[in-house]
Copies of this chain bind each other. A is one copy, B any other.
Amino acid sequence: MRPSIALATAILAASTYFVPISGIVASNSLSGAFAQSEKSGPVVTSFTLDNGLQVVVIPDRRAPVVTHMVWYKAGAADEPPGKSGIAHYLEHLMFKGTKTVKNGEFSAKIASIGGQENAFTSSDYTAYFQRITPEALPEMMRLEADRMENLVLTNEIIIPERDVVQEERNARTENNPGSLLREAMSAAMYQNHPYGIPIIGWQHEVNALDKDDAIAFYDKYYTPNNAILVVAGDVDVETVRKLATDTYGKVARRAEPGERMRPTEPPPRAARRLEMSDARVRTPSFQRLYLAPSYYSDEDGEAEALEILSAILGGGSTSRLYRELVVEQKIATSAGAWYQGGALDHTEFGFYGSPAPGTTLAQVETRTQAVIDELLKSGVTEEEVKRASKRLIRSSIFTQDSQSTLARIYGASLTLGSTIKDVQDWPERIAKVTPEKILEVAKKYLKLNRSVTGYLKPEVDAQANEG
């Protein structure tokens, strides 16, 4: 859940499942925006087909490459109770063929032309993409539109792929104490909202998923009026419009998923603490999460202020936490803060740190708390805010250099409910955040009753084994 450099990794990774994507894409999604007024910004165009599919075109003629993505407004938080993991499982199954395309044929086609492809599932959306040369775009659109309505699932396909998903869970979660603790911390954080359920699903529930579950999710959410097509790269709007109309335009609007409503959180009443000890842990670590609004669930400008707050407190080696814990006090080998603003509903503002040899997790926590308390008491300076917002805006400008990052930013943001203008105005909004607003959101959200604190320890506690 840490929006560090994971975005690039995620895009390059061959795997199709990225737990942290929601936070990362989103945090970057807006920080990755750049204003139309910036000379270098692209002219982003959007239109909607008759069947409700929104199409976004982001021309980028620097190289003969196109990024083609389809985003569905359906993620793990939209799963029915007891069916955790079905969104991600279905993402796997989308590669298994249609009425006219054999299992694996789509992927083989992409490989044969030297293209790349991938897919990912977050709490709030599921997306599929290919990077190809422009002449392959018509075929990609035909194949992607085809699997939007013609997916064929048989038990022969379903059962072995479920084992693949379980292996993925084993590798990422079951065999990773840090992931297990984060999973338990999320479950303790969300008292009512489905963000407390892991995206990949609870192991015992994934084991019970079947064809009917996959088809039900597909039929409910994989309809053009619940999707956004993003085409970035060496294309023009009219070409995309014509191709999209000829391919996606023929897909029937076959469901009405309606407004995205999930159970919301009650007021958090008490701070929660978790501790896990595991012999596989190499480095002890401290984490603290606070329930915080996202860019999509906040009140007027709170998310932008939280973004800068996280940068000042814990964004990199010039941040207050790093300077205090790592540089000055030398009690930690790492220390920082992050804000995962890119979620549809209330989300997390987090802290982390690892003790230096000879110091304890409690010392790291106490010192982190002292840094937070000092900020809550004295606020932040105008100078700090300027530095942080400049840094955020500057780094967002770099992201436009990556065509696929750009496509992801627009895809994720629009899927979550932003307009193109919202994305493009992000630097302006960031530049306007005041020290007063930052102190206000810090006081409002960095309250212990909103928090979950986790300790991950190397030694094995005899009592704490799984049961």
Bound: A269/B203 CA distance, A: 13
- The interface stretch among A189-197, A241-249, A407-415 is A189-197
Task: Encode contact with B along A263-299: 1 for CB under 8 Å, 0 otherwise.
Answer: 1101111111111100000000000000000000000
Chain B residues near A261 (CB-CB < 8 A): 82
Q: Main SS of the interface on chain A?
A: mixed
**Contact status of A196 and B188, CB under 8 A, knowing A81-B263, A449-B464:** no
**Chain B residues near A153 (CB-CB < 8 A):** none
The answer to whether A202 touches B450, judged by C-beta atoms less than 8 angstroms apart, is no
A197–B194 Cα distance when bound, in Å, is 13
Contacting residues of chain A (179-238) with chain B, CB-CB under 8 angstroms: 180-181, 183-184, 187-188, 191-192, 194, 196-197, 202-205
**A333 CB to nearest B CB, Å:** 23
Q: Oligomeric state, in number of copies?
A: 2
Interface string of A409-443 (1 = CB under 8 A from B): 00000000000000000000000000000000000
A261 CA to B205 CA, complexed, in Å: 12
Give Cα A267–Cα B203 distance, bound, in whole angstroms. 9
A264 touching B204, Cβ below 8 Å: yes
Q: Which residues of B contact A196 (CB under 8 A)?
A: 191
Query: Are B266 and A202 in touch, CB under 8 angstroms?
Result: yes
B197 touches A192 (CB 8 A): yes
* Contact residues, A151-201 vs B (CB, 8 A): 180-181, 183-184, 187-188, 191-192, 194, 196-197
| A270 to B: closest C-beta gap in Å | 4
Tell me whether A270 and B454 are in contact in the complex, defined as CB-CB below 8 angstroms, given that A463-B448, A465-B447, A466-B449 are known contacts. yes
Q: Is the CB of B262 within 8 A of A81?
A: yes
A191 to B465 alpha-carbon distance, docked (Å): 18
B276 near A274 with CB under 8 A, answer: no
Q: Is the Cβ of A273 less than 8 Å from the Cβ of B273?
A: yes
Q: Is the CB of A273 within 8 A of B276?
A: no
Q: Is the CB of B274 within 8 A of A274?
A: no
Q: Please name the residue on chain B nearest to A187 by beta carbon.
A: B191
Q: Is A444 an interface residue (CB 8 A)?
A: yes
Query: How far, in angstroms, from A444 to B466 measured CA to CA in the complex?
Result: 10
Partner of A272, one of B191, B272, B450, B465: B272
Shortest Cβ gap from A216 to chain B (Å): 15
Question: Judging by beta carbons under 8 Å apart, are A184 and B275 in contact?
Answer: no
Q: Is A461 an interface residue (CB 8 A)?
A: yes
Select from chain B the residue with minimum beta-carbon distance to A192: B202
User: Residues of A with Cβ closer than 8 Å to B?
Assistant: 81-82, 84, 180-181, 183-184, 187-188, 191-192, 194, 196-197, 202-205, 261-264, 266-276, 444-445, 447-450, 454, 461, 463-467
Known: A188-B188, A268-B466, A448-B463. 8 other contacts (CB 8 A): A181-B269, A184-B269, A187-B191, A192-B205, A203-B266, A267-B466, A447-B464, A448-B464
Shortest 10 CB-CB contacts between residues of A and residues of B: A187-B191, A82-B263, A273-B273, A202-B266, A270-B274, A270-B276, A184-B270, A447-B467, A184-B269, A448-B463
